[in-house]
Amino acid sequence: MSTEPLIPMDLYCRHEELDITFVQALTERGLIHVVMQEERSYIASDQLARLEQLARMHFDLDINLEGIEAISHMLERVDRMQQEMRALQERLRVYERE
């Protein structure tokens, strides 16, 4: 289980003026992870930046949930490719030194 502090989802949505159904839709699509405890939904603090990014895509850029899902998966792939590229560059440096 995560040791990240948990924020009640209803409190977060009220503070950020987000519709709770939007966060629930993101959760159903697997884009945000919500923790259930004692019949209450919580958002781990490590999920907040991602939630804010997805909310900006939806509300500021007017991207629908399907588009957010596609963009999110593409960003994850790009991130994995960048990590792989860094690892390969490090391996290449070892051979260049020899």
pLDDT of residue 2: 53
Residues 6+ apart with CB under 8 A from 34: 9, 23, 27, 41, 42, 43
Question: For residue 78, how far is the Cα from the chain centroid?
Answer: 14
Read off the pLDDT of residues 64-75 as tens digits, 9 standing for 90 and up: 999 999 999 999
Domain boundary assignment for the chain: 6-97
Burial 19-57, CB ≥16 within 10 A → b, else e: eeebbebbbeeebbebbeeeeebbbbeebeeebeebbeb
pLDDT of residue 97: 81
Say which CATH topology domain 6-97 has. Answer: Multidrug-efflux Transporter Regulator; Chain: A; Domain 2 (1.10.1660)
- Please tell me the pTM assigned to this model: 0.79
> Which residue's entry shows tokens 């939630």?
51
